[in-house]
Amino acid sequence: MALLEVENLKTYYFTLRGPVRAVDDVSFELEKGKVLGIAGESGCGKSTLAWSLLGMVPPPGKIAGGSIYLDGMDIAKMSEEELRRKVRWKRISMIFQGAMNSLNPVYTAGAQIEEVLTYHGNMSKLDARKRMYELLESVGLDRSLSKRYPHELSGGQKQRVVIAMALALEPDIVIADEPTTALDVVVQAQILNLLKRLQREKGISVILITHDLGVIAELADEVAIMYAGKIVEYGASEKIFYKPRHPYTYLLMKAVPKLKGPKESLIYIPGQPPDLVSPPKGCRFAPRCPWAMEVCSKDPEELTIEGPHRVACWLEKVSPGRTLELPKKA
């Protein structure tokens, strides 16, 4: 049985205009020790999905349907108290987007790690101090940095402190939400290498949320591509990167600038993601899809290609196995 099984999850924000369907009927599994990358444009529901897994969706949002099984327990049905006692930090923890915003500016780095250990892990102050030093060292920081306030640390050091906090109680799953955003490329590479090393050493499962396909290619075993609240393609990284089957996945990859080879015009995806209060009927990507057909006005069936590889697109039904290629003028 998979460590985490998400089934038909729906998380909506209930606004005066109507429900915003930020996560709409999403299903996936995560096995122990594996890395799942979740990619898509801003506003496609990636962060809402992450908050749902921790029961931390900000109001007016809430889980409107579906299940999240962690070792067989449905955490979508748990109370706030149960989530705090049994799940957060201990079983699932999170590296939040933007280290500066997730650290408290009036406490030292060491005090913030110790708080996780004493409050959520019920450790004595003395044990928490020892463990805090071990954690700092495991993320490549000197223990003397424990006395510094967040504003006295560099971006990379803050991100390492946040990673140490996420690992403090040895959770089974760590959700990393855009862990390298706002860091320069050298520090990005250091943080990615650190995550890779810790994930392998500790055998933890990671859900890596990013809009950067390069980061996913570096770390993920499997990839879920999200568009407008839905997973449109899912599969092993090499399958998705080698031969994407969904036009959105294909165009996302084409939009990554190439450093080698002849100069080519940059490809971009025209238009904007839809309003999730009233998304288009049928395929939500249809207004931006160069391959859209009449049948796309109906909801696309999800088709299994091979193993875990699946895609929700009519093109796969009409011409199975087709290699996508952008029409010359597009």
Of 94-113, binders to ligand SF4 (CB under 6 A) are none
Conformational region of residue 247, where left means phi above 0, alpha means psi within -120 to 50, and beta covers everything else: alpha
Q: In the numeric block, which tokens belong to residue 246?
A: 């969904």
- Residue (260 or 329) nearer to ligand SF4, CB: 329
Selected from 289, 309, 310, 324, the binder of ligand SF4 by CB under 6 A is 289
- Residue (83 or 292) nearer to ligand SF4, CB: 292
| Closest among 171, 183, 228 to 53, alpha carbons compared | 171
DSSP letter string, 245-298: -SHHHHHHHHTSPPSSSS--PPP---S-PPPTTSPPSS-TTGGG-TT--GGGGS
- Residue (13 or 248) nearer to ligand SF4, CB: 248
CB of 300 to ligand SF4, least distance (A): 4
- Residue (174 or 286) nearer to ligand SF4, CB: 286
CB of 135 to ligand SF4, least distance (A): 44
- Residue (197 or 317) nearer to ligand SF4, CB: 317
Q: Give the separation between CA 28 and CA 239, rounded to whole angstroms.
A: 17
| Closest among 54, 225, 94, 201 to 138, alpha carbons compared | 201
Residues that bind ligand SF4 (rule: CB under 6 A) add up to a total of 13
Contact between 276 and 22 (Cβ < 8 Å): yes
- Residue (99 or 283) nearer to ligand SF4, CB: 283
- Residue (85 or 298) nearer to ligand SF4, CB: 298
CB of 209 to ligand SF4, least distance (A): 22
Selected from 286, 309, 310, 324, the binder of ligand SF4 by CB under 6 A is 286
Selected from 50, 283, 309, 310, the binder of ligand SF4 by CB under 6 A is 283
CB of 98 to ligand SF4, least distance (A): 32
- Identify the residue whose tokens are 């223990």: 143
- Residue (17 or 322) nearer to ligand SF4, CB: 322
Q: Does 285 bind ligand SF4 (CB under 6 A)?
A: yes
Q: What letters, b where the CB count within 10 A reaches 16 and e where it falls short, cover 275-298?
A: ebeebeebbbbbebbebbeeebee
Of 290-329, binders to ligand SF4 (CB under 6 A) are 291-293, 296, 300, 313-315
Q: In the numeric block, which tokens belong to residue 187?
A: 């520090």
Cα 167–Cα 1–Cα 173 angle in degrees, nearest 5:
10
CB of 283 to ligand SF4, least distance (A): 3
| Amino acid code (one letter) for 329 | K
**SS3 per residue for 140-189:** CCCHHHHHCCHHHCCHHHHHHHHHHHHHCCCCCEEEEECCCCCCCHHHHH
Q: Does 13 bind ligand SF4 (CB under 6 A)?
A: no
Q: Does 274 bind ligand SF4 (CB under 6 A)?
A: no
Stretch that binds ligand SF4, among 148-156, 193-201, 237-245, 280-288 (CB under 6 A): 280-288
Selected from 66, 247, 273, 274, the binder of ligand SF4 by CB under 6 A is 247
- Residue (158 or 284) nearer to ligand SF4, CB: 284
Integer-rounded Cα Rg, in Å, for the chain is 21
CA dihedral 242, 245, 246, 251 (to 10 degrees): 40
Which residues here bind ligand SF4, judged by CB under 6 A? 247, 283, 285-286, 289, 291-293, 296, 300, 313-315
